[in-house]
């Protein structure tokens, strides 16, 4: 068997010498250390974690299942308990309480000792694997729930005049979810409201805060609260939900008016956008105010109205799309680089354009190990009147 470090906790010197003799003569794969009490064993366990503990259940400072519980609390090692000839039931009880195996004193031979230690270590490793797999599954399920809260299905009518293509890509290190969020809601007047935002940090706290902000935004839109008051109330939610006072959130909100072909935009510390027209892609960055949480209760966010042609499209995104490194020297893509990528893409089909843009950014980040940050992207464009009417009729039938 591979070498195994074993700690024997046994107060009887005769029994300890018997185990040592079996190990020296017939089980060379075991390296044995000896402790005469639980207190002495705890000192050894603090210095080194063995592969297996051989535990006598009748020690001067701990007896029975209490001894087992205290050893389990002190180490992650496999445990084989040692019982007396008339204590088989307590051996079974010890296994039910977390030991990997038991041996009866007076009936232990070298090959039985070796096999018990080896199997106990294997069982412990299998238990750890099972626990880790279960934790991973729970984590994945939690991420799915958080993603559903951060990245909802746009709430648009069947005949909406606006088409939306949303996308999300996690960063390379993110088994942990980030705080990127977006949402799109059409109100009763046919105005289409959109938000995209990014909570600082990663992990469940940032994600939960992002979910709270996204839900607050949707609720505010559905109750008719828009403009600067909307952002101010979102900031109040952030202040109430954030895990520490250094957490902030960037956001861009916009309202698309199909009949007027305009977009009303407010920007709270968030990056600009890409604007498409007949002349191609341009960088659009309107006046804005600080991120939510920077100046609580004192910030202002001016509104800018942008005229949009019938063939216009807007691409809103979080900063992970252009702040990633694009070579081994850690140079960043930047806004200029992102605009150049957009202009180099030949397709005008929304889904294909969005996917190709993200793929090109990801390819550029490969030499530096991939994108560090999450990427959320919203692509919005006008539908043709005929397309909107056709979709509405198909749904109604």
pLDDT at 170: 77
- pLDDT (0 to 100) of residue 283: 97
Distances (CA, A) of 151 to 145, 167, 207, 254: 10, 9, 11, 17
Q: What is the pLDDT of residue 386?
A: 44
Joined together, the tokens standing for residue 36 give 């005469």
> What pLDDT does residue 389 have?
44
SS3 303: strand
In 3D, which of 270, 272, 287 has the Cα closest to residue 181? Answer: 270
CA 7 centroid distance within chain: 38
312 close to 268: Cβ distance less than 8 angstroms: no
**294 Cβ contact partners less than 8 Å away, ≥ 6 residues apart:** 248, 269
Report mean pLDDT in 10-residue bins for the chain, 397 residues.
82 87 74 91 90 91 91 92 77 88 83 85 83 64 59 90 92 63 95 96 84 94 96 96 91 97 98 95 97 95 97 96 81 93 94 96 86 90 64 47
User: Of 110, 106, 66, 70, which Cα lies nearest the Cα of 88?
Assistant: 106
Handedness of CA 94, 99, 101, 107 (dihedral sign): negative
Token pair listed for 190:
């046919």
**Do residues 6 and 35 lie in contact, with contact meaning Cβ atoms separated by under 8 Å?**
no
- Nearest Cα to 171, choosing from 321, 340, 5? 321
Task: Say which DSSP state 343 is in.
Answer: H
**Strands (DSSP E) found in the chain:** 4-9, 30-35, 52-56, 58-59, 62-63, 78-83, 101-104, 162-169, 178-186, 192-202, 249-257, 262-268, 273-277, 280-284, 303-307, 313-317, 375-382
178-186 β-sheet, strand order = 178-186, 192-202, 249-257, 262-268, 303-307
Cα torsion at 103, 105, 111, 112 (round to 10°)? -20
In order of 167, 196, 213, 251, the CA distances from 183 in angstroms are 11, 7, 10, 11
Please count the helices (runs of H) and the strands (runs of E) in the chain: 10, 17
CB 53 within 8 A of CB 71: yes
DSSP 347-366: ---HHHHHHHHHHHHHHHHG
- Distances, alpha carbon 258 to alpha carbons 262, 264, 274, in Å: 7, 12, 19
Q: Which class for 278: exposed (0-12), middle (13-18), buried (19 or more C-beta within 10 A)?
A: exposed
What is the DSSP-derived secondary structure letter of residue 90? Answer: H
Coil, strand, or helix at residue 33?
strand
Terminal CA-CA length for the chain: 72
Please state the pTM of the whole predicted model.
0.66
Chain mean position to CA 47:
34
Task: Kindly state the tokens that stand for 252.
Answer: 């861009």
Distance CA 68, CA 82 (A): 11
Rg (CA), the chain: 32
Measured CA to CA, the distance from residue 221 to residue 186 in angstroms comes to 9
């Amino acid at each position: 068997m591979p070498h195994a470090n074993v700690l024997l906790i046994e107060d009887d010197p005769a029994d300890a010498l018997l185990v040592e003799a079996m190990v020296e003569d017939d089980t060379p794969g075991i390296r044995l250390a000896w402790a005469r009490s639980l207190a002495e064993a705890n000192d050894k366990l603090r210095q080194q974690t063995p592969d297996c503990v051989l535990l006598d259940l009748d020690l001067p400072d701990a007896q029975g299942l209490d001894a087992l519980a205290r050893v389990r609390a002190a180490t992650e090692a496999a445990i084989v308990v040692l019982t007396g000839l008339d204590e088989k039931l307590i051996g079974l009880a010890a296994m039910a309480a977390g030991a990997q195996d038991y041996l009866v004193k007076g009936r232990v031979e070298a090959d039985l000792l070796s096999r018990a230690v080896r199997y106990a270590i294997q069982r412990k490793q299998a238990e750890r694997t099972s626990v880790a797999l279960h934790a991973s599954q729970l984590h994945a399920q939690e991420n799915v729930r958080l993603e559903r809260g951060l990245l909802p299905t746009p709430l648009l009518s069947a005949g909406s005049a606006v088409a939306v293509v949303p996308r999300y890509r996690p960063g390379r290190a993110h088994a942990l979810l980030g705080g990127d969020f977006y949402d799109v809601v059409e109100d009763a007047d046919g105005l289409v409201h959109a938000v995209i935002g990014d909570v600082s940090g990663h992990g469940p706290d940032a994600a939960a805060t992002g979910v709270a902000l996204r839900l607050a935004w949707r609720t505010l839109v559905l109750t008719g609260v828009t403009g600067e008051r909307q952002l101010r109330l979102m900031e109040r939610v952030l202040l109430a939900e954030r895990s520490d006072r250094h957490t902030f959130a960037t956001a861009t909100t916009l309202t698309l008016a199909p009949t007027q072909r305009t977009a009303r935009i407010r920007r709270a510390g968030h990056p600009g956008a890409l604007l498409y027209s007949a002349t191609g892609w341009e960088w659009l960055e309107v006046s804005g105010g600080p991120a939510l949480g920077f100046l609580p209760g004192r910030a202002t966010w001016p509104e800018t109205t942008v005229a949009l042609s019938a063939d216009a499209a807007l691409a809103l995104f979080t900063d992970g799309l252009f702040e990633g490194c694009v070579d081994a020297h850690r140079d960043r893509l930047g806004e200029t680089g992102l605009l150049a990528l957009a202009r180099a893409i030949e397709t005008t089909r929304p889904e294909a354009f969005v996917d190709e843009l993200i793929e090109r950014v990801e390819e550029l980040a490969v030499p530096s190990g991939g994108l560090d940050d999450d990427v959320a992207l919203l692509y919005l464009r006008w539908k043709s009147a005929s397309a909107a009417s056709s979709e509405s009729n198909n749904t109604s039938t």
